Structure 1
Amino acid sequence: MKNFFCISGVLTLFILMSFVGVDFFSSMTKVDYVEGSRTLKFTTKMNTSHISDAIKINPNTAGFEAEVKKYVNNNFDVFVNGAPKTITFTGSQVSGETVWVYFEAGGVSDINTIKIKNTILLSAFPKQSNIVIISYKGGQKVMNFQRGKEVNEVSF
C-alpha cells in the first residue's frame, strides 16, 4: 500500500510538472446582433504578444492598429444565409496583455445561418484555438476553430 501511494504521488508530480511553462494560445470573439441597425458587432480578444508576433510589429508603435486591421480582414470572413458580408474595422485597444479588436458587418436582417471562417493566429501557433460566441434574438451559439477546422456554421 505504501508503494501505491509513493507511485501515485510521483505520477501526480509528473503530471503537474507537465503543465509548467505551457503557453496557451486562444482568441475569443463575441458577436452581438443589433436589431435596430441590422448589424453584427464583433469584439475579439487576443493575447498582445501573440498578435504582435504574428504581424511582426511592436504593439506600442503607431502602425500597430493598421496592421491588426489588415490581419483581421485577411483572417476572418462572415457569411449570413450563404451571402458574404463585408467586415468594417471600427477600432482596437491594447490593454496590457490583451488586444481588443472591434469590427462589424451591416445590412443583416433575419439570420437563418451564420458561417464563419476564422484563421486568426492559426498559422502562427499550431495549437491555437479560437472561440466565437454568437448572440441573436435571445439565442446563443458557440463555434470552435483550430487548425484543420477553420470554418464553422450554425443555424438559428
Structure 2
Amino acid sequence: MIVTILSKMKNYFYISGILALCVLMSFMYVDFFSSMTKVDYIEGSKTLKFTTKMNTNHISDAIKINPNTAAFEAEVKKYVNNNFDVYVNGSPKTVTFTGSQVSGETVWVYFETGGVSDINTLKIKNTILLNAFPKQINLVNIAYKGKQRTMNFQRGKEVNEVSF
C-alpha cells in the first residue's frame, strides 16, 4: 500500500515538474513588436502633435541602418513619412517631421500637422513596422479638446478612423 502511494506521489511530482517547466518556458524571451503614438491637439496653433515611441532595434532592422550613424534620423524621417498618413474630416494632411531621439532601446519620433481647426473625424493609416514584423501592433492615443480616443493597427487593419 505504501509502495503504491509513493509510486503515485512520484508520478504526481514528475507530472507537476513537467508542467512547471512548461510554464517557465512560456515566459522565456519573446520579442514584443509594438509602437505607441500619442497625438495632442494644440488649440492655440491649430496643430496635431505626434510623438511615436518605437524599439530601436526594430526600426533599425526595418530601415537597415545603424541607429548610431548620422544618417539614421534622415532615414527615420523618410520611413515615417512613407508609413503614417493623417486625414482630418476626410482631407489628407501633410505630416511634417520635427525630429527624433535615440534613447537606449527606444527611438522617439516627433512630427506634426497644422491647419487643424475642428475635428469631426480623424483617419490614420499607420503601417509603421507592419511589413518588417508580422505580429507588429501599433497603438495611437488621441487627445482632442478633453476627449480621448485610441486606435489599434496591425497587418490587415492598417487604417482606422475615430469621430469626435
**TM-score, normalized by the shorter chain, greater than 0.5:** yes
2:22 pairs, out of 14, 17, 20, with 14
Offset of 1:5 from its aligned partner?
A: 7.2
CA RMSD of aligned residues (A): 1.5
Paired residue secondary structure (1:141) = strand
- Cross-structure match for 1:50: 58
* Structure 1, gaps ≥5 residues long: none
TM-score for both structures, normalised by structure 1: 0.94
Paired residues for 1:24-103 under 5 Å? 24-103=32-111
Give the letter for the 1:28 counterpart. Answer: M
TM-score for both structures, normalised by structure 2: 0.90
1:119 aligns with 2:135: no
Higher Rg: 2
- Cross-structure match for 1:138: 146
How far apart in 1 are the matches of 2:48 and 2:77?
Answer: 17
Offset of 1:8 from its aligned partner?
A: 5.2
Distance 1:140 1:14, change over 3 A: same
How far apart in 2 are the matches of 1:66 and 1:9?
Answer: 52
Distance 1:74 1:7, change over 3 A: same
Offset of 1:16 from its aligned partner?
A: 3.0
Give the letter for the 1:15 counterpart. Answer: V
2:114 pairs, out of 106, 131, 142, with 106
Give the letter for the 2:89 counterpart. Answer: N
Offset of 1:12 from its aligned partner?
A: 4.2
Offset of 1:9 from its aligned partner?
A: 5.3
1:95-114 CA-to-partner distances (Å, cap 9, x unmatched) read 11100000000000111111
Offset of 1:21 from its aligned partner?
A: 1.9
Offset of 1:20 from its aligned partner?
A: 0.7
**3-12 vs 60-69, greater mean Cα deviation:** 3-12
Distance 1:9 1:149, change over 3 A: farther
* Structure 2, gaps ≥5 residues long: 1-7
